[in-house]
Amino acid sequence: MLWQTLRRLFGGHSSASVDIPVETWRRLCAEQPELADLCDEEVERLRQLAGRFLAGRPFYAAGGMDLSDAAQMRIAALAVLPVLGLDLGWLDSIRSVVVYPDAFEVDHEEIDESGVVHEVRDLRAGEAWSHGTLVLSWADVQAGLDPEMATSVVVHEVAHFIDGANGAENGFPPLGKHHDRVRWTADFQAAFDRLAAVVDAGDEPLIDPYAATNPAEFFAVLSEYFFRLPEVLSDFDPSLYRHLARFYAQDPLARMAPRIDRKAAGNNGPSRA
């Protein structure tokens, strides 16, 4: 594969980059819901970041996965989207990417209400391993081509790496001086508590109830909505949308506005019986 050859030549050096064909890249962005509203300048910056991401870390196929260059390129596009307004250095902790064809089994421990530890085997769509491996199910990456889907497994797992940049995945990523840390903590905690109360009551929340698992999953799920369905996140809690827009230095709602306006204008024509 092209990417693997380049990595062998440059040894995964951070300054190396894969030159992704411009037209190929534009087609990918046009069909991927998270990327479809990017302006030309953002599409080009994303291409440059993705090229460096591809050159800087190995991709491994697992479970019989046929890992094509096209699949790696799509994963890279989604992986660098969260840092489009930041810097690729935020993803330095991702040292390799493993891709399965479908959901994969993971063994882990769970503690029941009595404090007893049980060995559990679950199916996962993605994981962010602490030693720097991003693990993904290609079927779940592909499912993200459906614009109605709220989930983006790549963004979710990358958000965990970003969250953990302060040494722990706790829903509190490193914040710049421009961000009010006290307000972030208060707003996220209040929203998390409200969501947990809704889930505990057995009601249907506005966002994926998995977000109520813990603060780390809350941040990762909110990040998915921020890039996939920002209007839903804004309806759920506009203050959290504003926090994430400031943190990620992006505004997906503003990107969407021209498309929504065009769609609305197209619906104002004469109706047909």
Say which CATH number the domain at 232 has.
Answer: 3.40.390.10
CA distance 241 to 113: 34
In which band, very low, low, confident or very high, does the pLDDT at 270 lie, cut at 50, 70 and 90?
Answer: very low
User: Does residue 202 form part of some domain?
Assistant: yes
Asked whether residue 115 carries a pLDDT value surpassing 70, the answer given is no
Residue 66 belongs to some domain of the structure: no
Q: What is the mean pLDDT of residues 26-37?
A: 96
Q: Residue 266 above 80 pLDDT?
A: no
Kindly report whether the global pTM for this prediction surpasses the value 0.85.
yes
pLDDT in tens, 142-199: 999 999 888 999 999 999 999 999 888 899 999 888 888 999 999 999 999 999 999 9
Residue 189 is part of which domain span? 170-259
At residue 272 the predicted structure's pLDDT band, cuts being 50, 70 and 90, is very low
In a domain, 49, yes or no: no
Greater confidence (272 vs 226) lies with 226
Q: Give the Cα separation of 100 and 67 in Å (integer).
A: 9
Whether 129 maps to a domain, the answer reads no
For 221-230, the pLDDT digits (tens) are 999 999 999 9
pLDDT at 248: 97
Q: Is residue 240 part of a domain?
A: yes
DSSP 8-state code for residue 273: -
- 204 pLDDT higher than 60: yes
Residue 8 is predicted with a pLDDT of: 46
Contact criterion met (CB below 8 Å) for 6 and 20: no
User: Is residue 207 domain-resident?
Assistant: yes
164 in a domain, yes or no?
no
CB 99 within 8 A of CB 59: yes
Tell me, yes or no, whether 215 lies in a domain: yes
Domains held by the chain: number: 1
Q: Compute the distance between CA of residue 82 and CA of residue 211 in angstroms, rounded to an integer.
A: 18
Per-residue pLDDT, 13: 47
Q: How many helices (H) and strands (E) does the chain have?
A: 11, 6
